[in-house]
Amino acid sequence: MAFIEELNTLAGLTNHGDRGKGFEKFLSALLRDEGFFVTPSPPCSPHLQVDLFARRGRTNFLVEAKWLGRPLSKAQIVNVMERVRRVPKDVFACVFSMSGYQAGAVREAYSDRNLEIILFNELEIRRIATGDLSFESLLDDKRNALRASADMWFYDPITEAHPPRRLRSGSDVIHVGKQARNWQLCLESDIESLFCNECLDFSRQYRGPVFSLRMYVGLGTIPELRRFMRVARRELGLANEGSFAIHQGAAGWFGFGAENFIRAVKARRSRYAELNWDRYHHSEELGYVDRIETGGLFGLSLRQSTGRGNNLHTCEVEILLPGLPVDMEGIKRFCDLTRHREEATLEIVNETPVKGLHFTPRIGVEPVATIVSRSNREKWVSGLIIKNPFYRKADPPIKPESLDQPFWLLREQEILLCTLRSWHRVGDRMQRYELVLAQGCWIAGYATFWIVCDWSEKTVQ
């Protein structure tokens, strides 16, 4: 279960005792996901109970988990301060409250300059759970504010200098007729390919060398994969608009979103029930690609054994960057938290790996399904699944300049997942859809495409 889903489940509990214990376990898992070692009910302070103790490197703090029916009072903060006075001076306290704080409680928390009491509110806890905020960065900001100005600072999304602009407010969903699906099966997909719903070209205004960071990660289980994806999103600044593909033999499943990717990996048995084959290859190929908000691409490829259990192996990560970033801290933390900093290799790619292709004249296509996005509480058709007009053609119109360009592989795919240049309303169908352009690149061993369609003429009701 994703952290935010677990938090929402706890919010539905009516028994305060069960909710409180569940919140402690939730925070313990969340902090472990951030790379901390966590001890429940530690014997840090005689005669005073402590919920959790977290440590990583030289950072050590007590954790108080509060989910009450009312805001925390000044007296409750005083109790936390008493606990901190009885532990070594390098230990501070973090209070996580889903029910807020009274004004007097906040003032009390920064009243003693010899103690560090850091407060987290519901909004911050939820943003950490979704991966929108890094706990480590938020903690640093709060500690700096407390030390520099003796003030308790809380995150405010309204005052963000440059909030990310996104059309989508969630993962895209595939609609086949009236049925909504999180992934689509293709029975003729002989290549390890992947279709993105956003532009691949991250270096349009940059003509310098591109850097490729590669590393192999020892992921063995689905919980480890989930944690890895959260760390990647948080530390690398992924756009959370990724696409995925899973291949078994000549069959492939395609979809969008990190959570849907995890669900599809877990749902191996139900996916194979669709195939109903007599035998399967001993492992299936998994791929995921997402954009980096500040520029670049993140690619992940790995394998899942098809025997008992859901064992993962052979995990490769590739990060493509438009030049060497001035600030490498996020990448360093990503490598450190995945414990593979020493194995990472950085190479220079002389030219952008993303290649472009324009269809002139445009090619008419036949949709078999729609891709639906939610934006500003409305649903829009943002893409199509089409019959591949190049499928197994002896002389397809796709003729790249070299085999480094992956476009020639498109003829091995029965269907193509495309983005619409102009979105239209759900339920509308245009009389003609056409292929306009495509971009393609290799990343983490996957042939990755962004294919754009457009529509013309009147709507068919």
| 213 and 254 housed in the same domain | yes
3-state secondary structure of 294: coil
- 171, part of any domain: no
Say if CB 51 and CB 95 are below 8 A apart. no
| The predicted structure's pLDDT at residue 404 | 63
Of the pLDDT bands very low, low, confident and very high (cuts 50, 70, 90), residue 165 is very low
- 174, part of any domain: no
Of the pLDDT bands very low, low, confident and very high (cuts 50, 70, 90), residue 164 is very low
| 87 and 141 housed in the same domain | yes
Q: Is the pLDDT of residue 351 over 60?
A: yes
Q: Answer with the one of 303, 323, 349 that is the final residue of a domain.
A: 349
| The predicted structure's pLDDT at residue 141 | 86
Give, in degrees to the nearest 5, the angle at Cα 431 between 428 and 434.
Answer: 105
| 38 and 98 housed in the same domain | yes
Give, in degrees to the nearest 5, the angle at Cα 28 between 23 and 29.
Answer: 100
CA distances from 25 to 10, 20, 35, 224, 281 (A): 11, 9, 16, 18, 39
| 29 and 105 housed in the same domain | yes
- 79, part of any domain: yes
| 150 and 37 housed in the same domain | yes
- 435 alpha carbon, distance to own chain's centre: 29
Q: Which has the higher per-residue pLDDT, 156 or 372? A: 372
Nearest to 19 by CA among 9, 8, 10: 10
Q: Which has the higher per-residue pLDDT, 61 or 428? A: 61
- 401, part of any domain: yes
| 319 and 198 housed in the same domain | yes
| The predicted structure's pLDDT at residue 161 | 44
3-state SS of 40-52 is ECCCCCCCCCCCE
User: From the CA atom positions of the chain, what is the Rg in Å?
Assistant: 25
- 169, part of any domain: no
Q: Which has the higher per-residue pLDDT, 453 or 137? A: 453
Domain count, the chain: 3
Q: pLDDT, tens digit, for every residue of 211-256?
A: 899 998 888 899 889 888 988 888 888 888 899 999 999 899 999 9
Q: Answer with the one of 297, 318, 349 that is the final residue of a domain.
A: 349
CATH code at 90?
3.40.1350.10
Tokens of 228: 């890895």
Specify the amino acid at residue 353. Answer: P
Type and span of the H or E element at 358: strand 355-365
Burial class (CB in 10 A: 0-12, 13-18, 19+), 258: buried
Q: Dihedral of CA 266/272/278/283: which sign?
A: negative
Report which DSSP code applies to 54. E
Q: Answer with the one of 332, 349, 366 that is the final residue of a domain.
A: 349
| 226 and 295 housed in the same domain | yes
- 73, part of any domain: yes
Q: Give the percent of the chain with pLDDT over 70.
A: 90
- 453, part of any domain: yes
Nearest to 397 by CA among 430, 438, 432, 366: 438
| 246 and 286 housed in the same domain | yes
| 34 and 154 housed in the same domain | yes
Length of the chain in terms of residues written: 461
- 166, part of any domain: no
Q: Is the pLDDT of residue 306 over 50?
A: yes
| 365 and 267 housed in the same domain | no
Cβ within 8 Å of residue 190, ≥6 positions away: 250, 412, 413
DSSP states along 210-267: EEEEEEEE---SHHHHHHHHHHHHHHHTB-S--EEEEEETTEEEEEESHHHHHHHHHT
| 321 and 193 housed in the same domain | yes
Strand order in the sheet with 52-56: 37-40, 52-56, 59-66, 91-97, 117-120
Domain that holds residue 372: 355-460
Say if CB 445 and CB 301 are below 8 A apart. yes
3-state secondary structure of 347: strand
Q: Which has the higher per-residue pLDDT, 325 or 431? A: 431
